[in-house]
């Protein structure tokens, strides 16, 4: 029988999941929309000045560097000032950044604003996982995180789809103005409907606020916090943010989880950048090669949702390792002369083993750390891992420019997936606090 508290909890979690997912849809949109308009800049200097291919590449990288910096900054800030404040500021920040970018007439200013917008995108990506982990129902945390982070590839697909329909009508500036919509839609809703994390408030010793939000939202006070908190004493003994993340307790797993995320994002950005070109070299036409990219991202979304359900039952570590390994096998299959239907199926599995695995990694990390360092842990995963994202396009370009055969390139990517498997398997068991005697 459902109680009033259960109904309040369900309503609260529904609002948080919907708002967080929509936020990451706009994140995905903001990161990909540049790719839909770059050809306009290359062919018409009247927009932001002369843009050469090398300048276009640099402009595209600035947002990713901003994401890296924003994610790392948000980690410590989120564990210090709270999840809600960081997420509300991130919604406003990247929306204003997109609006200002839509009005620029200079390539230099455009690049600076792309970096600035990336700061907000990174802060949101880094903080969302911590909030969802602290509000999701027990036994469904990986599933809820997978649902929310699937907003990123959905936003990428949305950017491509809207560009096909609207770009000729509203131009590149209109496409960027669409990215500013959260300022007047998502932000007001989140302000009223997204509460602060009860677990975070407890971890900081703010018990009165935690109890008030617990009553209002139907969310129970956490039972796994430090003894000092449960005894109503200040939680300052526990170092929060990066200070706690790189303390002796978490140093080794933090380094391994960062490398694991970087490996995953190296694969994600290598394939998302170069898969159409690799398929062209395999003999497919331009339209057919782009269809592989669609299948890749579709497989990522479906694979992450299915994998998260298994992760909630058996634990995320083995599921992430298995997905990396399956991805490696699927990439290796692409070296064979397969029928088109089988090749497409293999590409979908590759999506599950790369982008889908990265979504599962966010769930793994968010549930691995305790509350006082959780925000920093997810931020480290998103921020340090972004180095792999920056390196992905460079790796593909290096291999293609170096004259590597198509099969050799696929084997290199498969080997990276195996590295991801090994890194996942050596992550030590998460620290669980012993039950206090009160």
- Answer for the pair 409, 335: CB distance below 8 angstroms, yes or no: no
Instruction: Name the phi and psi angles at 47, rounded to 5.
Output: -85, -60
**DSSP alpha helix (H) spans, 369-405:** 371-401
Map tokens 């000729």 to a residue: 168
Overall residue count recorded for the chain in this entry? 438
Query: Which CATH number goes with the domain that contains 31?
Result: 1.20.1250.20
pLDDT tens for 277-311 read 777 777 776 556 667 777 887 888 888 889 888 98
Last residue within a domain, chosen from 189, 210, 238? 238
Query: How many CA atoms lie within 13 Å of 415's alpha carbon, on the beta-carbon side?
Result: 6
Q: What is the pLDDT of residue 225?
A: 47
Q: What is the pLDDT of residue 190?
A: 94
Residues 249, 206: one domain? no
Residues 393, 294: one domain? yes
| Angstrom distance (rounded) from CA 189 to CA 88 | 10
Smallest Cα–Cα separation from 363: which of 136, 119, 184? Answer: 136
Q: What is the pLDDT of residue 231?
A: 38
| Angstrom distance (rounded) from CA 109 to CA 307 | 42
Q: What distance lies between CA 357 and its chain's CA centroid?
A: 11
Last residue within a domain, chosen from 238, 259, 284? 238
Residues 192, 57: one domain? yes
| Angstrom distance (rounded) from CA 387 to CA 72 | 12
Residues 233, 248: one domain? no
Smallest Cα–Cα separation from 91: which of 43, 131, 147? Answer: 131
Is 419 a domain residue?
yes
Q: What is the pLDDT of residue 4?
A: 67
Residues 209, 168: one domain? yes
Residues 217, 290: one domain? no
Query: How many CA atoms lie within 13 Å of 198's alpha carbon, on the beta-carbon side?
Result: 21
Q: How far is CA 277 from CA 289, 293, 392, in A?
A: 7, 10, 14
Burial 395-417 (b: 16+ CB within 10 A, else e): bbeebeeeeeebeebbbebbebb
Which stretches in the chain have pLDDT values below 50? 1, 224-236, 433-438
Last residue within a domain, chosen from 209, 238, 267? 238
- Answer for the pair 83, 196: CB distance below 8 angstroms, yes or no: yes
| Angstrom distance (rounded) from CA 43 to CA 254 | 45
Instruction: Name the phi and psi angles at 434, rounded to 5.
Output: -75, 155
Q: What is the pLDDT of residue 431?
A: 60
Smallest Cα–Cα separation from 127: which of 156, 185, 85? Answer: 85
- Answer for the pair 226, 433: CB distance below 8 angstroms, yes or no: yes
Map tokens 């490398």 to a residue: 259
Is 437 a domain residue?
no
Residues 248, 313: one domain? yes
Is 433 a domain residue?
no
Is 434 a domain residue?
no
Is 55 a domain residue?
yes
Residues 191, 292: one domain? no
pTM: predicted TM-score of the whole model, two decimal places: 0.77
Is 35 a domain residue?
yes
Residues 390, 418: one domain? yes
DSSP letters for 49-118: S---HHHHHHHHHHHHHHHHHHHHHHHHHHHHH-HHHHHHHHHHHHHHHHHHHHT---HHHHHHHHHHHH
Q: What is the pLDDT of residue 235?
A: 43
Is 432 a domain residue?
no
How many domains is the chain built from?
2
Is 146 a domain residue?
yes
Q: How far is CA 143 from CA 50, 129, 147, 340, in A?
A: 46, 12, 6, 32
Residues 218, 298: one domain? no
Smallest Cα–Cα separation from 175: which of 102, 82, 87? Answer: 102
Smallest Cα–Cα separation from 365: which of 27, 205, 132? Answer: 132
Q: What is the pLDDT of residue 320?
A: 93
Residues 196, 250: one domain? no
| Angstrom distance (rounded) from CA 35 to CA 24 | 18
**DSSP alpha helix (H) spans, 179-285:** 186-193, 198-203, 207-217, 227-230, 241-245, 251-281
Residue-range definition of the domain harbouring residue 354: 244-425
Residues 220, 281: one domain? no
């Amino acid at each position: 029988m459902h109680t009033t508290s259960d109904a309040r909890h369900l309503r609260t979690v529904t609002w948080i999941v919907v708002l967080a997912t929509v936020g990451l849809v706009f994140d995905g949109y903001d990161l990909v929309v540049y790719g839909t308009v770059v050809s306009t800049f290359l062919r018409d200097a009247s927009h932001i000045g002369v843009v050469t291919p090398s300048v276009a590449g640099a402009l595209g990288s600035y947002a990713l560097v901003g994401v890296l910096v924003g994610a790392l900054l948000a980690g410590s800030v989120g564990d210090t000032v709270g999840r809600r404040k960081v997420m509300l500021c991130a919604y406003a920040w990247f929306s204003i950044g997109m609006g200002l970018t839509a009005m620029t007439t200079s390539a230099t200013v455009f690049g600076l604003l792309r970096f600035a917008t990336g700061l907000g995108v990174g802060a949101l990506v880094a903080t969302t996982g911590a909030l969802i982990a602290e509000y999701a129902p027990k036994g469904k945390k990986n599933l809820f995180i997978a649902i929310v982070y699937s907003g990123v590839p959905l936003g990428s697909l949305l950017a491509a789809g809207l560009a096909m329909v609207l770009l000729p009508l509203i131009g590149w500036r209109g496409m960027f103005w669409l990215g500013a919509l959260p300022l007047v839609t998502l932000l007001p809703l989140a302000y009223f409907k997204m509460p602060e994390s009860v677990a975070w408030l407890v971890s900081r010793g703010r018990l009165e606020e935690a109890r008030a939000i617990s009553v209002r939202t139907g969310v129970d006070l956490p039972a796994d916090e430090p003894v000092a908190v449960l005894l109503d004493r200040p939680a300052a003994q526990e170092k929060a943010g990066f200070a706690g993340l790189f303390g002796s307790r978490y140093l080794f797993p933090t380094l391994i989880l960062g490398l694991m995320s970087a490996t995953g994002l190296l694969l994600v950005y290598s394939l998302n950048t170069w898969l159409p070109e690799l398929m062209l070299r395999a003999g497919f036409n331009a339209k057919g090669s782009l269809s592989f990219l669609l299948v890749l991202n579709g497989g990522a979304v479906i694979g992450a949702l299915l994998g998260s359900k298994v992760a909630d039952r058996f634990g995320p570590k083995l599921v992430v390792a298995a997905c990396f390994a399956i991805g490696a096998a699927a990439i290796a299959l692409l070296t064979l002369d397969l029928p088109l239907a089988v090749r497409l199926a293999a590409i979908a599995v590759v999506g599950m083993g790369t982008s889908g695995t990265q979504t599962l990694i966010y769930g793994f990390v968010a549930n691995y750390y305790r509350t006082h360092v959780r925000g920093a842990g997810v931020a480290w995963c998103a921020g340090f891992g972004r180095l792999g994202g920056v390196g992905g396009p460079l790796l593909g370009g290096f291999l293609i420019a170096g004259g590597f055969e198509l099969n050799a390139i696929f084997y290199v990517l498969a080997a990276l997936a195996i590295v991801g498997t090994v890194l996942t398997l050596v992550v030590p068991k998460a620290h669980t606090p012993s039950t206090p005697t009160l």
